[in-house]
Chain A
Amino acid sequence: MYKVIIDSKTFFAEEGSILGDILIKSEIPHSHPCGGMGICKKCTVKVNGKEELSCKYEIHSDIVVEVKEDENIISETGAVISASASDKPVFVLDIGTTTLALALADTENKNIIDVKTDTNPQRIFGADIMSRIDYCRKNGVNEMQSVLIKKINSMLSRFSQNSADTLFVSGNTVMLHIFFGEDCASMGSAPYTPVFLEERTVNAKELGLNSVKAVHSLPSISSFIGADITAGLNLVSAPLHGKYSILIDLGTNAEIVLFSDECVICTAAAAGPCFEGANITCGMSASEGAVCEYIYSGNYKTIGNAPAKGICGTGLIDIMAVLIKNEIIDETGFLETEKFSITEDVFINQNDIRQFQLAKSAIYSGVLTLMKHAGISFDEIEQLYISGGFSAKINIENAVITGLFPKELKSRCTPLNNSSLLGTVKYACESNDLSLITKNAAYKDMSADSVFSELFVENMMFEV
């Protein structure tokens, strides 16, 4: 046994054990974006003063570990707060892969009394959905469920008017599986079978939740289109008269839905990690010090006006637009110099540009593929709704320049912020019939779609 001192707390480790596993057990906030594969290099800690990857470091002696301060991710919910007591309050929770948002809502006056956000503590098991599923497959679901429930309990206790009996829950399908302690392993590979999709009502005690009595979750559509999308569709009304709208949820995974009052077709594109910084060299989540707006050489903004530490999703979109407009990259995305510097330490390199190209083409091509399958043109689209924690901060003009969103829809883009939370609040207040959404929904798998494959290749280029 060796002594492992992490931020002045002492733990014990067996010979040859991995530091990352000790960190997981320690419950010290820390992320392993790639799920401990040693690829992303973002779980660096200091071991006896030397930088090491915690997911790969084997313990063969007593060590002292310093963990970097965990990022406090800023997630805009878009909730309009009207602080007042309520006779009929409910709690509403959105379990995002990266962030949790908990609101106390007044069902009588249909408004939100207070909102708290926090990071999903499961990030220690990996940044994206697949790494969580992989962890579940190898270690079972209990560990991930218990850190989540613990965090939700701590968030519930932060409300001063801590009195609601019911908790409404939304989130993607995998997050809901983990929340209810269901095995999500089968969603990791084709045919991606979920254990459940339907809405659930359970006793809060069964899940170990304090201070609420009943838990009610919203229904999901498929393994990749969860209750968060059902809630988003509940928030916006479907266009009438044969018109369609599109909803793009830019979370850790990007979900795309094309819908009318008669049909809902949806797909998911693996694009999120790019906008949350996981596979960008200087990428980071939207927390203090992240470059969030970029105009040109030296002219940029960071979150909290702190010294620039890295680049978050909105900053990345702006930087890419600048590279294209100024022909610093060509139409194929080729960067002539080794890197494009924002500050001395923060930069974009060729590989980052390639990652962006994959992500933006996946989303753009996903939109076009759904439209093609439905046989509709841009004229028939009423609105392009963009949801997600940073949707209201996206510079739409720049997003269109990079080819993330279709230029034809530039004037019809509407940000929704956290549509999962807001749509669930609406459901809690109005108890709308969600089966109208889930019954009509069809899922299209893009990885097996030849239309998508063709478009994906074409749309990776830039228009200069």
Chain B
Amino acid sequence: MNIYLEISENLQKGKHKAVQELVEQAINDALPAVDILNQGLLHGMNIIGERFKNNEVYVPEVLVAARAMNIGLKLLKPLLAEDGERFVGKVCIGTVQGDLHDIGKNLVKMMLEGKGLEVIDLGTDVSPETFINTAIEENCQLICCSALLTTTMEVMGEVVKCAQEKGIRDKVKIMVGGAPVTEEFCKKIGADCYTSDAASAAETAVELCKL
């Protein structure tokens, strides 16, 4: 079997040790870092993302696969920088103020990275100002807001307002998601898009960053 496919398959099974060894081997064999990333790690992560979207695998499998990807990515990062590998866009992500839940947010973050986006993780309990200031300072094209509680999702509306007040609403897109969030809610608060799962979030994020 070709080594890229081997990396992909081990990643899908969440075997992080095997992924680490295979990536090291591929680097020693002087294979291009971009190919190891795209045909190995991201290939596997995309399959997991697709299966997640179709409800065939669940949060645990995605998390263990993502752990394997991160280990591989760490090995590749210095080489990718040398190769001048470019990110397809820059995103900041966080769970909104008053909400400390981060499992969903972390999943989306990993899927975003898997799609080649540069992600700034603001953690949980993030104020609207922090979202907007980060987007300005770091020149992000997209802000991703997560909330698990019906009582905290309203903060997403404040993020949209804050972007307007600071005059960057036309420069930045705002994506919302999380268990209580709906398409209707997204429209109501004037955010740009709602996605229902991590894989769709990543796909949509890439589209939005291209705009």
Contacts of B182 in A (CB 8 A): 37-39
Identify whether the interface residues of A are mostly helix, strand, loop, or mixed: helix
B102 at the interface (CB under 8 A from A): yes
Taking a contact as CB atoms under 8 Å apart, the answer to whether B124 and A448 are in contact is: yes
Question: Which B112-166 residues have C-beta < 8 A from chain A?
Answer: 124-125, 149-152
In the complex, the number of residue pairs spanning A and B with C-beta atoms less than 8 Å apart equals 64
| Count of A interface residues, CB-CB < 8 Å | 30
Asked whether A4 is an interface residue with its Cβ less than 8 Å from the other chain, the reply is no
* CB-based nearest B residue for A128: B150
The complex places the Cα of A448 from the Cα of B149 at a distance, in Å, of 15
Q: CB of B15 within 8 A of chain A?
A: no
Q: Is the CB of B58 within 8 A of A456?
A: no
Residues of chain A from 132 to 150 with CB closer than 8 A to chain B in the complex:
133-134, 137
Q: How far is the CB of B71 from chain A (nearest CB, A)?
A: 16
Q: How many B residues, CB 8 Å from partner? A: 25
Complex interface: stretch among A95-103, A152-160, A350-358: A350-358
- Determine the distance from Cα of A448 to Cα of B103 in the docked complex, in whole angstroms: 10
Taking CB atoms and an 8 Å cut-off, the chain B residues in 66-116 that contact chain A are: 97-103
Chain B nearest CB from A91 CB (Å) reads: 33
Residues of A within 8 A of B58 (CB): 332-333, 354, 357, 460
B100, A458: Cβ atoms under 8 Å? Answer: no
The answer to whether A432 has its CB under 8 Å from any CB of chain B is no
Residues of A within 8 A of B150 (CB): 35, 37, 130-131, 134
Are B151 and A137 in touch, CB under 8 angstroms? yes
List the A side residues contacting B63 at CB < 8 Å: 457
* Contact partners of A453 in chain B: CB under 8 A: 102-103
Residue contact A456 to B56, C-beta cutoff 8 Å: no
Known A137-B151, A190-B98: A461·B125 in contact at CB below 8 Å: no
Q: Is the CB of A190 within 8 A of B99?
A: yes
Residues from chain A with a CB closer than 8 A to the CB of B102 are 447, 453
Complex partner residue of B184 from A38, A188, A189, A457, CB under 8 angstroms:
A38
Residues A457 and B64 in contact, CB atoms below 8 Å apart: yes
Whether the pair B59, A37 counts as a contact (CB closer than 8 A) is no
A334 within 8 A of B: yes
Query: For the complex, is B168 an interface residue (Cβ under 8 Å from A)?
Result: no
Q: Mark A203-226, 1 if CB is under 8 A from B, else 0.
A: 000000000000000000000000
- Cα separation A20 to B144 with both chains bound (whole Å): 32
Q: Per-position contact with B for A446-459: 1 when CB-CB < 8 Å, else 0? A: 01100001001110
Q: Which residues of A (306-329) have their CB < 8 Å from a CB of B?
A: none
Contact among B56, B57, B151 for A189, CB-based, below 8 A: B151
The interface residues of chain B lying within 8 Å CB-to-CB of A188 are: 98, 149, 151-152
Task: Give the chain B neighbours of A357 by CB distance below 8 A.
Answer: 58
| Most chain B C-beta atoms within 10 Å of own C-beta, residue among A134, A445, A458 | A134
Determine whether B180 belongs to the interface, using a CB cutoff of 8 Å to chain A: yes
Contact mask B171-186 → A, CB, 8 Å, 1/0?
0000000001010100
Given contacts A39-B182, A457-B63, whether A130 and B103 have CB atoms under 8 Å apart is no
A190 with B55: CB separation less than 8 A: no
Task: State whether A332 touches B151 (Cβ < 8 A).
Answer: no
Q: Are A334 and B124 in contact (CB under 8 A)?
A: no
Residue of A nearest to B97 (CB): A189
Cα A17 to Cα B182 with chains together (Å): 21
19 CB < 8 A contacts A-B: A38-B182, A188-B98, A188-B149, A188-B151, A189-B97, A189-B152, A190-B99, A332-B58, A333-B58, A334-B56, A334-B57, A350-B55, A351-B55, A354-B55, A354-B58, A448-B100, A457-B59, A457-B64, A457-B103
Closest 6 CB pairs of A and B: A189-B98, A188-B151, A447-B100, A460-B60, A134-B150, A189-B152
